[in-house]
Amino acid sequence: LFICIDHVGLAVPDLDEAVKFHSEVFGWRELHREVNEEQGVAEAMIGTGEQGVENAKIQLLAPLNENSTIAKFIDKNGPGIQQLAYRVADLDHVSEVLRERGLRLLYPEAKRGTAGSRINFVHPKDARGVLLELVELPKDAAEH
């Protein structure tokens, strides 16, 4: 069903500060940044920065406002790992298979994720305590 781990998402209170920390301390590099109003986040994708190979990626997620799921997560748990994202080739197919297997998907239809990807989530209560994101990359996406 799954191609690979697309990214691990960390809830952070301050995006710039988080990018600086992960760059300076761990040597990650910023690959992409955007605001996703629908999801209530400002996000930065950071990676190993290697050219020509698939990057391991971490998504830093900062809340846009106090109603954001990320604000709620940080209030409850503090900053930390908020999600695990699996890359899939066909999101609609995988969503259907997982529904058949009794899991709740959060959205009836795919929503827009990072850089034009299509996304949905498995409810954390149905994935043993992990908020599982499913990501289908746009057809023209570079793999790294």
Residue choice 37, 76, 100, 102 for contact with ligand MC0 (CB under 6 A): 76
Task: List, in order, residues 6 or more apart from 36 with CB less than 8 Å away.
Answer: 42, 43, 112, 113, 114
End-to-end Cα spacing for the chain: 21
Give the residue, chosen from 36, 56, 79, 86, that forms a contact with ligand MC0 under the rule CB under 6 A: 36
86 part of the interface to ligand MC0, by CB under 6 A: no
Query: Which tokens belong to 74?
Result: 């940080």
Q: Can you give the C-alpha Rg of the chain in angstroms?
A: 15
Q: Which residue ranges make up the site for ligand MC0 (CB under 6 A)?
A: 9, 36, 39, 41, 43, 59, 61, 69-70, 72-73, 76, 82-83, 85, 106, 113-114, 117, 119, 121, 124-125, 129-131, 133
